[in-house]
Amino acid sequence: MKIGYMTDGGRRRPTNEDAVKVLQDVNFYMLADGVGGNRSGEVASQSALDALEKFIRHNPPEWLDGRDEIFRYLRAAVRYVNQFIIKLSDAQPQFTGMATTLVFAYIRDGEMYVANVGDSRVYLIHDDMIQQITDDHTYVNDLVKMGAISREEAHTHARKNVITRAIGANANNEPDCFSVEVAAGDRILLCSDGLYDEVDDEEILYSVSRFDDMTICAEDLVALANENGGNDNISVIIIDLMED
């Protein structure tokens, strides 16, 4: 397994409110994007990942047996992180109202388990095809699912960055959980909206497929997002499940 990751402020934002964390020893990979318009987004994102790591270290996942148990574990982890951020926000006035997206992946025995809250994404690249695994918790995605607007209209909608679920936003933030088979030769991408808002799926697929070095791949994806505008913070984690 080869891994590259990078977070970058982009070209327009005064601070970087994204955070990434790689726990390769336990096969957990996580990314958070502090919610724009709320205070201390950079504190929320980094604190969420730190809290998630603490949960994982104190509750090692290797004893888990089967998909249902793993999903319960992922949901418990998100509840822990959510309560941590709420308590931190309540305890310090300068952090009042802070919130963050959260997405993370756990890879084990040929399966990837994913949990997400917000609009940060996980993609699977398999057999030269790219598939979005997560489902965005956004106002415009809800409109798309209801058939009120098309996916093309969603890209330019005035409220495309309004998210409907975020860590720290309320006490009952359940994640969506997914599982998907993975195999040698597959590549996995976690990213914030600063990447996919600027770089379309075909460009992402081309970049991810052309590099053997995942650090260079991460740098290339960030550079593409900046070249296409860099209107938001940009974060990526790219994982290559190498052929034997």
Instruction: State the pLDDT at residue 92.
Output: 85
Closest alpha carbon to 45 in 35, 37, 53, 55: 35
Instruction: State the pLDDT at residue 223.
Output: 97
Tokens representing 88?
A: 């931190």
Instruction: State the pLDDT at residue 126.
Output: 95
CATH (residue range 2-240) = 3.60.40.10
Which pTM value belongs to this model? 0.93
Q: What are the sequence ranges of the domains in the chain?
A: 2-240
Instruction: State the pLDDT at residue 173.
Output: 82
Per-residue pLDDT of the chain (244 residues; tens, 9 = 90+): 899 999 999 998 889 999 999 999 999 999 999 985 566 899 999 999 999 999 999 999 888 889 999 999 999 999 999 999 999 999 888 888 899 999 999 999 999 999 999 999 999 999 999 999 999 988 776 676 666 665 665 666 556 677 889 999 887 789 999 999 999 999 999 999 999 999 999 999 999 999 999 999 999 999 999 999 999 999 999 999 976 5
Instruction: State the pLDDT at residue 57.
Output: 96
Instruction: State the pLDDT at residue 30.
Output: 98
Contacts of 17 (CB under 8 A, 6+ apart): 33, 34, 35, 36, 41, 42, 44, 45, 100, 233
Taking CA atoms, 160 is separated from 137, 138, 141, 179, 239, in Å, by: 11, 7, 8, 27, 28
Instruction: State the pLDDT at residue 93.
Output: 83
Closest alpha carbon to 122 in 137, 138, 134, 135: 134
Instruction: State the pLDDT at residue 141.
Output: 64
Q: What is the DSSP letter of 99?
A: -
Contact criterion met (CB below 8 Å) for 203 and 27: no
Contact criterion met (CB below 8 Å) for 59 and 78: no
Tokens representing 118?
A: 């917000």
